[in-house]
Structure 1
């Protein structure tokens, strides 16, 4: 098949595909927007699990850009130290974070954290 070139752009070939190639469907996989969201999260480092997002919404926990940046930096530091799961205590909230996967596992208010016993934690990060 001969390449087709588009004017006003560098000469990059546009290859026409036959109509017999299988097209992805919603049943076969995720939509483009889901793939895009996943790619953005993977590039940005720290991400929140679906469970953690639900808990943050339920409990009204919000992090501004500065707090998110501090949290992300400390989780990366914990990962470099070899920590697996950490308790992160902030002024108004607390998180259980998988430093290994750079993922927030769950979130709670600081008051809820005061009444809990945390197990299987390899480190604690305190950010005030």
Structure 2
């Protein structure tokens, strides 16, 4: 029997100043992304805190958009490269599995990744 995994949630903020109009077909995927939460695993949350990595909410929104696009293309596990950090994200569960600063990532080998998102 597998142990239960406890996950922390990092909600993605909604842009309340966005114009309210009837959604177009292309806007739906964007609204779906904003309606979803990007989950941080306990491990990823600890790594972000330990390494003093702060990712602005606007960046989380962009990451969410790209993850939705990657998921549509069949990507399951993605390496996300930002200015602030390198993230490994499971697109099926929208879960950030681990995080590290870019300097720490320079000497790492990433396996079981089937997609890369460069922000």
TM-score when normalising by structure 2: 0.69
CA offsets 1:89-113 (integer angstroms, 9 cap, x no match): 1112100000111100000001111
Structure 1: give runs of 5+ residues left out of the alignment: 1-36
- Moved runs in structure 1, 4+ residues, more than 2 A? none
Q: Tell me the secondary structure at the aligned position of residue 43 of structure 2.
A: helix
1:67 aligns with 2:48: no
Q: TM-score, normalised by structure 1?
A: 0.64
- Which structure 2 segments of 5+ residues have no match? 1-7, 13-34
Q: Which has the higher contact order (CA 8 A, sep 6+)?
A: 2
In structure 1, the partner of 2:24 is none
Paired residues in the alignment total: 89
In the TM superposition, residue 71 of structure 1 has moved relative to its aligned partner by: 0.7
Question: Which of structures 1 and 2 has the bigger CA Rg?
Answer: 1
Any idea what SS the aligned residue of 2:50 has? helix
Residue 49 of structure 1: aligned partner = 41
1:14 maps to none
